[in-house]
Amino acid sequence: MGIPLIQGRFLDNSDKGRPTAVISERVAQFLWPDQDPIGRHVQGAAPEPPALEVVGVVGEVRAAVEDDPPMMVYEHYWRKQPVGMSFVVRTQTEPTAIANSIREMLSSADPEMAISPARTMGEIFEESVAARKYQTYLASAFALSALLLVSLGIFGVISFTVARRTPEIGIRMALGAREGQLMTLVIRQGMIPVVLGLLVGLACAMSVSHVIGSQLYGVTPNDPIVILAVTITLAVLSICACWIPAHRVTQIDPVVALRFE
């Protein structure tokens, strides 16, 4: 499984018949903070004695990606006769071929044994995050739709404003206003409400971020990188939405604009 050994040793065949165990780092810190856990005793799965002697401390494992690692106590499998069990095989060859060979070996040892289908660790991981991935894709689709609506809204408002100001633009062009000046004018006036909206939106988002904090994994509600990325994305899209009608301004014929009603 690739679980790292932090202290002591792993369980091996010499532990057969002996009450020994390996614990996770969280168990060691919980039971004996800042102390050496090797040689101490913990209670195993069975309530009756003897207690299990700790011979090693290992790293953490997760039962689910979004959950904190649980406290783990590893016992030797010879201590119990489980109704069902599973095991992991690490291989550098095709997993399917190895799985078929293992199934044949188990079937030859006990033809009546019920053997579950083998799964790769990648498949197990994908199943564990399938629901989260669906939620992420759904949220991303809504976010992209919102971005599209925002861009179309800004484009529509700026286009309408430019159309209403066609005579004014014609006068400015007739008086010698350059194309760059007109584009800057339109983009600046279009971006003023966008900047105000971003400031208000950031303030509102940060004030209620604690509400969605429990739904996040690997990122904090007020992550500065995420906030900066979203702000820049919205600003760039808004500039693009303003640029199109601003560019159209430079194509207006001053004579036609002055006659516009």
Which pLDDT belongs to residue 251?
73
Per-residue tens of pLDDT for the chain, all 261 residues:
889 999 999 999 888 888 899 999 999 999 999 899 999 999 877 666 788 999 999 999 987 777 788 999 998 888 776 777 788 888 888 887 788 888 888 889 888 888 888 888 888 888 888 888 888 899 889 988 988 888 888 788 877 777 777 777 777 777 777 878 878 888 888 888 888 888 898 888 888 777 776 666 667 777 788 888 888 888 888 888 888 877 777 777 666 666 655
CA atoms within 13 A on the CB side of 90: 3
For the chain, which residues make up each domain, given as ranges? 5-85, 125-258
Residue tagged 């209670």 (tokens): 43
CA pair distance 193, 173, nearest whole angstrom: 25
| Nearest alpha carbon to residue 69 among 35, 115, 28 | 28
CA pair distance 67, 4, nearest whole angstrom: 20
